[in-house]
Amino acid sequence: MSDIQELPVSLSERAAKQINKVLHTEAPGTVLRIGIIGGGCSGFQYTFNFDEGAPAEDDLVLERNGATVWIDAMSLEFMAGSEIDYVDELIGASFQIKNPNAQSACGCGTSFAV
């Protein structure tokens, strides 16, 4: 794998740790797939799903500390330069995408506008 700073999307150490924790109870070879769909209160929203098998030919494959994330090419266009992080705050714990392309976002952070 190339240097994580050279990738169009990065995965924080906290996110990798949480992904490993979540996937521990899933079938071997299961990975986290992150994508973007139209909808949400700001126009687009992130999706988080489990996936198995092999990534699509045009998927970005992120790996860090044993955690694997796949992002499809169309979603990657909206996520370039983003960091996938995991935060555990008083109001709740969640994966968060720190997306420099988002011009606005909803209060909960699951949808955004470009």
> Bigger pLDDT: 70 or 107?
70
pTM (two decimals): 0.83
Tens digit of each residue's pLDDT (9 = 90 or more) over 17-67: 999 999 999 999 999 999 998 876 767 888 999 999 999 999 999 999 999
Mean pLDDT of the chain: 86
Rounded mean pLDDT, 100-112: 66
- Which regions of the chain does DSSP assign to beta strands (E)? 9-11, 31-38, 44-51, 60-64, 67-71, 82-89, 92-98, 104-105, 111-113
Q: Does residue 3 register a pLDDT over 50?
A: no
* Domains contained in the chain, CATH given: 10-108 (2.60.300.12)
